[in-house]
A and B are shown apart, each in its own frame.
Chain A
Amino acid sequence: MKKDLKEFRTFPSSVIREIHRAANEGIYKIRGLGAKRKVPDFDDLVFLGASMSRYPLEGYREKCNTSVILGDRFAKKPIKLDIPITIAGMSFGALGANAKEALGRGASAMGTSTTTGDGGMTKEERGSSKYLVYQLLPSRYGMNPDDLRKADAIEIVVGQGAKPGGGGMLLGQKINKRVAAMRALPEGIDQRSACRHPDWTGPDDLEIKIQELREITNWEKPIYVKVGAARPYYDTTLAVKAGADVVVLDGMQGGTAATQDVFIEHVGIPTLGALRESVDALKELNMHRKVQLIISGGIRSGADVAKALAMGADAVSIGSAAMMALNCNADLYREDYEKLGTEPGFCHHCHTGKCPVGVATQDPVLEKRLNPIDGGKRLKNYLSTLTLELQTLARANGKSDVRNLEPEDLAALTIEAAAMARVPLAGTDWIPGFKNN
């Protein structure tokens, strides 16, 4: 007979297990990837599609432009991408060299950009990337002016969605000889990535820092400013004021290589709400489409991309999904997932350096499991799928350019999503909390 058991609402079994773990170990959990909790997201929006008042474009025949120019506010050499889907910054160190090369290959095949990450630029990455964005992070690991000049754009990282205000930590098990040398630190020690920049504080200083970077690179490179979704309205405003060409906004679903679980799940706001705030800021400044906005944090499908563009983004950036295209969490080497105490589909053990599929590792044996050419092809296929999905949805809404998608093409399925995205709840004209209602 089934027992009549009632779980505590406040203390469900998962919470009790975590309390037991904390009581035994005395320290928080560190893990990789992004938030696992449910938050309002793009799944809570739908497109309306064409009807009597909107004419669709022929889905398989009529052109639908996907290209986007990034960085034409001040930079002499803005980037023209064929698709509005870029690869987010992920460090060499967190990822292996094969993974970085595969990302470059896949992105280049689709005419889009990839991004370095903490730890500097590797020759594999530069060699395989048609467009490479070079990150300037607080740690300045691997930062040098020669690579700065080799880059196609520069991204000043103020924060990331998984951990706004948190900095980072690459645990010692991932620090091999090459990673250590690039970072000017000993092998095998935990390497802290600082949470704030060493030589500037606040937007006034940032403006001067941007000036310096432009001076060093002959004012050629687009300068991106990346922020975690903390206060996106103000952060976007201040980034524009500081002279950014592009704002990169990373919502709380954005991934990380290694961060405290409490940080991943409890700091920052969802991508959906953050995007709307940032677009509001750009519009109020009359800078929408003049300073481009790249949104990241939980983008998985062409539908997500289309909804992000409809809400006002110029492009999106993918990190976790790109890793998954390289086989992250694939049902391969199951025994190695088990050794980590996890299963395919649930793994977030990037921090251990024991990635079963050879993506987030520096272990030479594991790394061989990812062939960069094959990985590049998988990423290309994935990006191609996203792009086709994006175009299909754009055409169905009567758009010959994906950036013509607009909030009026959307409806929300939940009150929360309606409030955050500021589009009407489906079947109503109600936008909760919107001042014009």
Chain B
Amino acid sequence: MNFDLNKKKLREVNNYLQNIDRKDNKRKFELSNPQGQHAICAGLKDEIDVTIKGHTGYYCAGMNQKANIVVHGNVGTGVAENMMSGKVIVKGNASQSAGATGNGGTLIIEGDASSRCGISMKGINILVKGSVGHMSAFMAQKGNLIVFGDADSDLGDSIYEAKIFVKGKVKSLGADCVEKKMDEKNINELNKIFKELNIPEEAKKFKRYGSARKLYHFKIDNLSSY
């Protein structure tokens, strides 16, 4: 089923996709002419496949639950923000705060992601096949940020229990973020993610970063870190 966003209002399209008639077998949808509109496919909650043909604005697939969404273009700020489950694939680049606060599901960005990718992430898996901008995984709580390219400055600043894997260079690490041993368990976990997503990549080529856990309690001894 196709929706042309030149002809139909976003509210109508989102409303349809948010309230799928389960007796109807329509499960595949295509959206054309998104023209950078904001909040396209925000709040979807059913197992459906949506293909978006073009660039989207802010918060594409925001708070997604269960839906599989593929964007054949670039995305604006906050793609898949606070996603709970499902999968979002961006064929182009992503603006800032991609996957912000995501609780679950998978976000794949085939190009680059700008600053604060995975900020405050809470369980989502984010794979960026290009590079990520500064302050990515800032205050990241849980989940995996996997970067195939490079990471800009202050990666993982004030990180909690999320894991970061980077294949390329890291310009600098943020407060309390350290390189950690890439042991067999981590390699297996990462390979499992690649296998499930049919991504031909080797986990052992990645370095792992995470929290030194020195800032988990506010102490005067740590003041120089802030």
Q: A residues bordering B, Cβ < 8 Å?
A: 25-27, 139-140, 143-146, 148, 169, 171-172, 183-186, 189-190, 192, 194, 198-200, 205, 208-209, 211-212, 215-219
CB of B158 within 8 A of CB of A208, answer no
Complex CA–CA separation, A208 to B38 (angstroms): 7
Residue-wise, chain B 37-51 has the 8 Å CB interface mask toward A (1 for contact) of 011001101000000
Candidates A148, A192, A209, A215; contact of B10 at CB < 8 Å: A215
Q: B residues bordering A, Cβ < 8 Å?
A: 10-11, 14-15, 18, 38-39, 42-43, 45, 57-59, 62-63, 65, 77-78, 81-82, 84, 96-97, 100-101, 103, 116, 119-120, 122-123, 138-139, 141-142, 158, 160-161, 216-218, 220
CB of A192 within 8 A of CB of B14, answer no
Residue of A nearest to B83 (CB): A145
CB of B116 within 8 A of CB of A198, answer yes
Extra pairs beyond A184-B103, A198-B100, A216-B42 (9, CB < 8 Å): A140-B101, A144-B82, A189-B160, A199-B77, A200-B78, A212-B39, A212-B58, A212-B59, A215-B14
Complex CA–CA separation, A124 to B15 (angstroms): 30
Classify the secondary structure of B's interface with A. Answer: loop
Complex CA–CA separation, A208 to B97 (angstroms): 14
A-B contact count (CB 8 A): 105
What are 12 pairs between A and B in contact, CB < 8 Å? Answer: A25-B220, A140-B120, A145-B65, A171-B218, A184-B123, A184-B141, A186-B160, A190-B217, A198-B101, A200-B78, A209-B58, A212-B42
CB of B43 within 8 A of CB of A216, answer yes
CB of A208 within 8 A of CB of B39, answer yes
Nearest CB of A to B211, in Å: 10
CB of B218 within 8 A of CB of A169, answer yes
| A211 surroundings in chain B (CB, below 8 A) | 38-39
> Which 4 A-B pairs have CB atoms at the shortest separation, nearest pair first?
A216-B43, A199-B78, A184-B122, A140-B101
Residue of B nearest to A194 (CB): B139
Complex CA–CA separation, A130 to B172 (angstroms): 50
Complex CA–CA separation, A211 to B14 (angstroms): 12
Complex CA–CA separation, A183 to B142 (angstroms): 10
Residue of A nearest to B158 (CB): A192
Complex CA–CA separation, A186 to B216 (angstroms): 10
